[in-house]
Amino acid sequence: MPLWSFRVSFAARLAPLLLAACAAKAPPAPVDIPLRNPTAPVGSQADAHLARLQGNWTVTEGAGMPPGARIEIGPSDLRVNGVALPLREEAQGRLRVGDELLWVHWIDADDRTAAIGEPGGGRVWIMDRNGTPGERRTAAREILSWYGYDLSRMSGG
């Protein structure tokens, strides 16, 4: 191979590497900030067993769960807008949905409105049987706030 051919070939291979070295590096991926202050107390409602939650719900406010989402809870699955996820009750007020642990932080005495959250702060929402929780919305928001959730990050309310 002639020397000039080697130089052209070498330069052609080197140019993209030099350009890449000069280019600005992409910023790091954003850090997901939990929706819940981990220093706040957190708990699940002891009498919130799975049977009380079964049926149809509409998400009225949420972060990590879109407002307006339709939730159907059965004895062994939870459907979000028709997509089924395996469900099992780990303890009263504590559910495993797929690989995620969700806690029922509050459900009203007549099983019409519930506040659900992932205790690590990955998602939180308020759901209602008819989509209009009325005064129960205030109670749900108060308990979520007390448990350290950042309600300003919820949409839909």
Q: Which tens digits make up the pLDDT trace of 31-66? A: 478 999 999 999 999 999 999 999 999 999 999 999
Q: Which domains does the chain have, with CATH numbers?
A: 50-153 (2.40.128.20)
Residue 30 DSSP one-character state: P
Q: Rounded distance, CA 23 to CA 14, Å?
A: 15
Q: Which tens digits make up the pLDDT trace of 81-98? A: 999 999 999 999 999 999
- Between 26 and 123, the higher pLDDT residue: 123
Other Cβ atoms closer than 10 A to 112: 16
Examine the pLDDT at 123 and tell me if it is beyond 90: yes
Examine the pLDDT at 75 and tell me if it is beyond 50: yes
Examine the pLDDT at 141 and tell me if it is beyond 80: yes
Q: What is the mean pLDDT of the chain?
A: 86
Examine the pLDDT at 74 and tell me if it is beyond 60: yes
Q: Rounded distance, CA 140 to CA 128, Å?
A: 11
Three-state SS string over 18-79 comes to HHHHHCCCCCCCCCCCCCECCCCCCCCCCCCCHHHHCEEEEEEEEECCCCCCEEEECCCEEE
